[in-house]
Homo-oligomer: A and B are copies of this chain.
Amino acid sequence: MNLEEVARLAGVSRSTVSRVVNGDARVSVAARTKVQGVVREHGYHPNAAARSLASRRTRILGLLIPRASGAIFSDPFFPVLIQGAIDACNDADQNLMLLMDTDEEAPTAEGSRLHRRVLRGRHLDGVAIAASVVDDPVVALLRKERLPFVLIGRHPDPDVAYVDADNRGGSRAAVAHLIAHGRRRIATVTGPMTIRAGRDRLDGYCDALAAAGLPSGPALIGDGDFTRRDAHRATHALFGQPP
């Protein structure tokens, strides 16, 4: 069952069927009704490949996930991220392709096998990149290929689009909330200081304390690494208890 057949059965041309299927307004009510009937009756559904070939859009978005450090396992952020990406795609009638490099294959300047297969094959309309390192070669590659992309997490280059949480502001707000409720001795467990989000959250904590004229200091700051386990340990340490 394809456009041609539907057209024949409905007594119109392929173009008209295509217009109906794609919600083009320039179709008479009669023709539209007729076509919709045939479509429903025969369960017609457009072929994705043909559509992509003709329209030059795949309706597929990529989500590139780093393999490094098995982050996808330990960091509870990833399930949330993935679910969010799926939901957003569903809302936009797009599909989500999950991308991750092979074990041995760190991305190089020429691009990995994954890169060649997916990114260069014009398999995607665009790609979101989770947790890339700042000098990730993938940025340069995607640019050269003019494939739209967005980084998840701040990027220094002003020409690179990114989305990020307001880590500093959020942290500041959280601490300000405690202060507003009368707390005067507020501790924090940080993330790694090598990671932007870690620094920003600590900065926000310091912002709020400074604004309220409250003290901080090493005794109130525990080192964490964004894992549950380490947060547990660091919190016990802050309270002067064994873990």
Contacts and interface: CB of A to CB of B under 8 A. Distances in A.
Contact of A123 (B72, B95, B98, B113): B95
A119 to B, nearest CB: 9
A97 interface: yes
Contact of A96 (B58, B79, B98): B98
Nearest to A120: B45
Interface in A80-113: 80, 82-83, 86-87, 90-91, 93, 95-100, 102-103, 113
A11 B78 CA distance: 49
A48 B78 contact: no
B72 A93 contact: no
A160 interface: no
Contact of A86 (B58, B96, B98, B113): B98
Identify which of A46, A58, A72, A121 gathers the most chain B CB atoms within 10 Å of its CB: A121
Contact of A90 (B43, B50, B102): B102
A49 B50 CA distance: 7
Tell me the number of copies of this protein. 2
A199 interface: no
A122 interface: yes
Given A60-B97, A82-B98, A97-B95, A47 B90 contact: no
Contacts of A96: 97-98
A118 interface: yes
Contacts of A49: 49, 52-53, 58, 122
13 contacts: A45-B116, A49-B52, A60-B97, A72-B79, A72-B83, A73-B76, A79-B79, A87-B100, A90-B100, A90-B102, A90-B113, A90-B114, A91-B102
